[in-house]
Homo-oligomer: A and B are copies of this chain.
Amino acid sequence: MMTFGDRVVSLVKKKQSAVCVGLDPRSAWIPPSLMKESMLRNEASPIAAQADAIREFCCRVIDLVEPFAVAVKPQFAFFEALHVPGIAALMEVCRYARMRGLLIIADAKRGDIDTTATAYAQAYLSGTAMDPPVADSITINAYMGYDGVAPFLVEGAPTGGGVFVLVKTSNPSSADFQDLLDQEGVPIYERMAQKVNSWNKTHGSSGYGSVGAVVGATWPQHLAALRIAMPHSIILVPGYGAQGGGAESVRGAFDSRGQGALITASRSVVFPWAKQPSVPVHWEQSIVHEAQLMRDDLRNLVGEYR
């Protein structure tokens, strides 16, 4: 049976890209033309108009980045903020990404146990006779230990679904707990990494199982060390471009075949105009430009994904 890691490796090789595009649709940065059209379609409900606009925007982004990316990572918070219409938009965006052949990483950071974790896993990783799963993988928080991981692996197994466990994040206060040293002087995030790797009971034909790790790009030396500590875990690296590190800063996440990593850019690819006074008229072109640039920069770094 294919692991989620096998699916990632196979698609990365086929498309010669390790790009994952984060869909964090902040209403404030949506092109005003889209927002206006959506408001005309949904005059009765401002929240439905916003949800419709982010649905439309995300689907257009998917079309634009599909040639350059292997995965999209919808950030659930921005959809949940719009309640029922937001969730309806999220479901459509995920369906659309699947139709376009992209892997879907649900950036939901869920973290619960037992039957509750099973319910989350069923919500996002289980297909039915009628429908494929919402997503191919989901980000989770394992502060509660393996009880919060196992149900996702059970539900994901039939369709090759997986999880990405938070190991080391790049925010300043990640040090509050992740950097605490245990009695052997090993930081907690490294203990987390060891567990994450060991939770891959099967490694697939690619050597990568279904339990991946989230590791921020802020500390290049961590990436390289964690790549070695987790030989069976795909590493999902968020924040490409945002911290201005560029391709060099994520080199450590890749193995010697150029595999084992998915690099995520959100704002820098999806909203390249975020720091400008207004959205450019040809905003689609700027997204295509950024996605292609990122794909090429990473490929130049790696040489070939084998």
Render A77-103 as a binary contact track against B, CB cut-off 8 A, 1 for contact.
Answer: 110111110011001000000000000
Known contacts: A176-B146, A182-B182. The answer to whether A77 contacts B141 by CB under 8 A is: no
Distance to closest chain B CB from A171 (angstroms): 4
- Whole-angstrom distance between the alpha carbons of A166 and B126 in the complex? 27
Is the beta-carbon distance between B147 and A172 smaller than 8 angstroms?
Answer: yes
Is the beta-carbon distance between A147 and B120 smaller than 8 angstroms?
Answer: no
One of A59-67, A183-191, A205-213, A277-285 at the interface: A183-191
Contact of A188 among B77, B78, B119, B188 (CB under 8 A): B188
Residues of B within 8 A of A221 (CB): none
**Which residues of chain A (177-217) have a CB below 8 Å from chain B?**
177-178, 180-183, 185, 188, 191-192, 195
Is the beta-carbon distance between B178 and A188 smaller than 8 angstroms?
Answer: no
Q: Which residue of B is nearest A184, CB measured?
A: B183
Is the beta-carbon distance between A166 and B144 smaller than 8 angstroms?
Answer: yes
Contact of A109 among B111, B172, B175, B191 (CB under 8 A): B111
Is the beta-carbon distance between A143 and B173 smaller than 8 angstroms?
Answer: no
User: Is A257 close to B, CB under 8 A?
Assistant: no
- Whole-angstrom distance between the alpha carbons of A2 and B175 in the complex? 31
Render A160-177 as a binary contact track against B, CB cut-off 8 A, 1 for contact.
Answer: 000000100101111111
Residues of B within 8 A of A82 (CB): 123
Residues of B within 8 A of A119 (CB): 75, 77-78, 80-81
User: Is A110 close to B, CB under 8 A?
Assistant: yes
Total interface residues on A, using CB and 8 Å?
54
Residues of B within 8 A of A80 (CB): 119-120, 123
Q: Which residue of B is nearest A114, CB measured?
A: B171
Is the beta-carbon distance between A77 and B116 smaller than 8 angstroms?
Answer: yes
Contact of A123 among B24, B77, B117, B122 (CB under 8 A): B77
User: Is A9 close to B, CB under 8 A?
Assistant: no
Distance to closest chain B CB from A62 (angstroms): 20
Q: Which residue of B is nearest A178, CB measured?
A: B143
- Whole-angstrom distance between the alpha carbons of A119 and B171 in the complex? 17
Distance to closest chain B CB from A23 (angstroms): 12
Is the beta-carbon distance between B144 and A169 smaller than 8 angstroms?
Answer: yes
User: Is A288 close to B, CB under 8 A?
Assistant: no
Is the beta-carbon distance between A145 and B175 smaller than 8 angstroms?
Answer: yes
21 contacts between A and B (CB under 8 A): A24-B116, A26-B115, A77-B110, A77-B116, A77-B117, A78-B116, A80-B119, A80-B123, A81-B123, A109-B141, A111-B111, A111-B166, A144-B171, A145-B172, A145-B173, A146-B176, A147-B173, A177-B188, A177-B192, A177-B195, A182-B182
Interface residues of A (CB under 8 A from B): 24, 26, 75, 77-78, 80-84, 87-88, 91, 109-117, 119-120, 122-123, 134, 141-148, 166, 169, 171-178, 180-183, 185, 188, 191-192, 195
